Chains A and B, each alone.
Chain A
Amino acid sequence: NAGVTQTPKFRILKIGQSMTLQCTQDMNHNYMYWYRQDPGMGLKLIYYSVGAGITDKGEVPNGYNVSRSTTEDFPLRLELAAPSQTSVYFCASSFGQLETQYFGPGTRLLVL
Chain B
Amino acid sequence: EDQVTQSPEALRLQEGESSSLNCSYTVSGLRGLFWYRQDPGKGPEFLFTLYSAGEEKEKERLKATLTKKESFLHITAPKPEDSATYLCAVQAKTGGFKTIFGAGTRLFVKA
Q: In the complex, are the beta carbons of B87 and A43 less than 8 A apart? A: yes
- Say if the beta carbon of A87 comes within 8 Å of chain B: no
**B101: CB under 8 A from chain A?**
yes
When distances are taken between beta carbons in the complex, the residues of chain B under 8 Å from A35 are 101
Asked whether, in the complex, the Cβ of B43 is within 8 Å of the Cβ of A100, the reply is no
A100–B46 CB distance below 8 A:
yes
Q: Are B101 and A43 in contact (CB under 8 A)?
A: yes
Residues 29-44 of B, flagged 1 when their CB comes within 8 A of A and 0 if not, give: 0011010000001111
B5 to chain A: closest CB distance in Å? 10
Closest to B31 in A: A98
Pairwise interchain contact A92-B43, C-beta atoms closer than 8 A: yes
Q: Say whether B4 faces chain A, with CB atoms less than 8 Å apart.
A: yes
- 4 smallest beta-carbon distances between A and B, as pairs: A103-B43, A42-B101, A43-B101, A100-B46
Apart from A40-B103, A42-B89, A97-B97: 12 A-B pairs, beta carbons within 8 A: A33-B99, A42-B4, A43-B101, A44-B101, A45-B99, A48-B97, A50-B97, A92-B43, A98-B31, A98-B49, A101-B99, A106-B41
